[in-house]
Structure 1
Amino acid sequence: MSEIYTCATMSIDGYISGPAESGFEHLFHWYGSGDVEVPTANPQRTLKMSAASAKYFTELSANTGALVVGRKLFDAVNGWGGRHPMNVPVVVLSHGVPDGWPRVGSPFTFVSGGIEEAVAVAGKLAGGRAVGVNGGTIARQCLNAGLLDEVLIDLVPVLLGGGTKFFDQLADAPVVLEGPISTVEGRGVTHLRYGVRRS
């Protein structure tokens, strides 16, 4: 079975977006704060990171075989224009399929049966590599269902003061994590990796 992880860029006070979906210029500044070019599936979108962040990002991408995201994120980014920047299959957990989808050759699969179904489908698509689930509601559902193996945090030195938390409304808090398993110092970001302790 594929390893399941969640990864999000987070402010020091624990938010993955600020009030009214703000703060992204601070959270994702590290995507363009370096000299190392990191190509994505979108030819018009090349990232420029510090050497440490580029190594971390490319290794994570290479080890990821599929993603699970929610409908809110899918709609907010307009389906990434038809292909996720990591160029892997994406399972979208949604109550319904949006207009115009699925498209022929699309890497998106829509499921409505809950987080367990979404993770199972992603695991089959991942080809033995890891499955990444996006932060917020999807990460919480995955953790509450006992499916999450690791939590990766791209910690940015900003205080947003409110917004969407990485984790909220946990069923069995506190949740004890192992680690950090690894720490990578980038430019304007610290990449942290933790294991989820099984009870």
Structure 2
Amino acid sequence: MAGLLYSVSMSLDGFIAGPGGDLSWLTPLLPPPGGEPNPLTEEIGALLIGRRTFGGDDAYRDTEGEGEAFGGGWSGPQIVLTRRPPPAPVPGVTFAGDLDTAVRTAREAAGGRLVNVLGADVARQCLAAGVLDEVLTCVMPVLLGDGVRLFDAPGSDPVALEPVAVHRGRYSTDLRYRVRRG
């Protein structure tokens, strides 16, 4: 069965987006589209995306990678969790109205490879449902001071994570954790 990995870029002070979901802060910190390959994309079989992330800001805006997963560095099946699918079909994208259907569809589409979860809200839902297996946080060299927090769930219980790997790359320091169960 395909595991679920939430991957996210985050400022050093804990923000994954600026105020209102703005991702323009990330653009100068990312590799250029078509640049060096991202090792994560070799592990991914499908994307499970939240609706706001799917229709939101794009860190590759105004570049040749705009509108493409990982700036064009990955292509494959995309499943969007939403109760409001668009009126017209979107090529390569499946819309699912509930988490169970979205996770099942993404796992099947991944063909035994990783399902990459994109979007803080869908990641929180996966964590609460006990289906999220790993978290990969790419810490970017910037302090934003305000915006959307990595995990903002006041009143929730702590979630234990087990370190898997640390990688210091050219553009970020990547911290990979396994979600501890029980």
Question: Are 1:193 and 2:173 an aligned pair?
Answer: no
Number of paired residues?
173
Deviations 1:122-179 (A, max 9, x none): 0011111110111310111110110011000100122212211221217742111001
TM-score calculated relative to the size of structure 1: 0.78
Residue in 2 that maps onto 1:108: 93
Does the aligned pair in 2 maintain the 1:74–1:92 contact within 8 Å? yes
Residue in 2 that maps onto 1:70: 50
Residue in 1 that maps onto 2:128: 144
Residue in 2 that maps onto 1:7: 7
- Cα deviation for residue 119 of structure 1 reads 0.8
Question: Are 1:87 and 2:75 an aligned pair?
Answer: yes
Question: C-alpha root-mean-square deviation of aligned residues, in Å?
Answer: 2.3
Q: How does 1:128-167 map to 2 (within 5 A)?
A: 128-167=112-151
TM-score calculated relative to the size of structure 2: 0.84
- Cα deviation for residue 82 of structure 1 reads 7.5
Deviations 1:25-75 (A, max 9, x none): 443433237xxxxxxxxxxx42x35xxxx4xx2x31111100111111222
Structure 1 residues 119 and 171, CA gap change in structure 2 (3 angstroms): farther
Q: In structure 2, how many angstroms separate the alpha carbons of the residues matched to 1:88 and 1:165?
A: 28
Does the aligned pair in 2 maintain the 1:30–1:187 contact within 8 Å? no
Counterpart of 1:61 (choices 20, 30, 41) is 41
For 1:167, what is the secondary structure of its paired residue? coil
- 5+ residue gaps, structure 1, are 34-44
Structure 1 residues 171 and 62, CA gap change in structure 2 (3 angstroms): farther
Deviations 1:82-106 (A, max 9, x none): 7643101000111122132x14xx2
Question: Are 1:123 and 2:107 an aligned pair?
Answer: yes
Among all aligned residue pairs of Structure 1 and Structure 2, give the percentage whose two residues are the same amino acid. Answer: 39
For 1:20, what is the secondary structure of its paired residue? helix
Residue in 2 that maps onto 1:183: 166
Residue in 1 that maps onto 2:61: none
- 5+ residue gaps, structure 2, are 59-64
Does the aligned pair in 1 maintain the 2:2–2:110 contact within 8 Å? yes
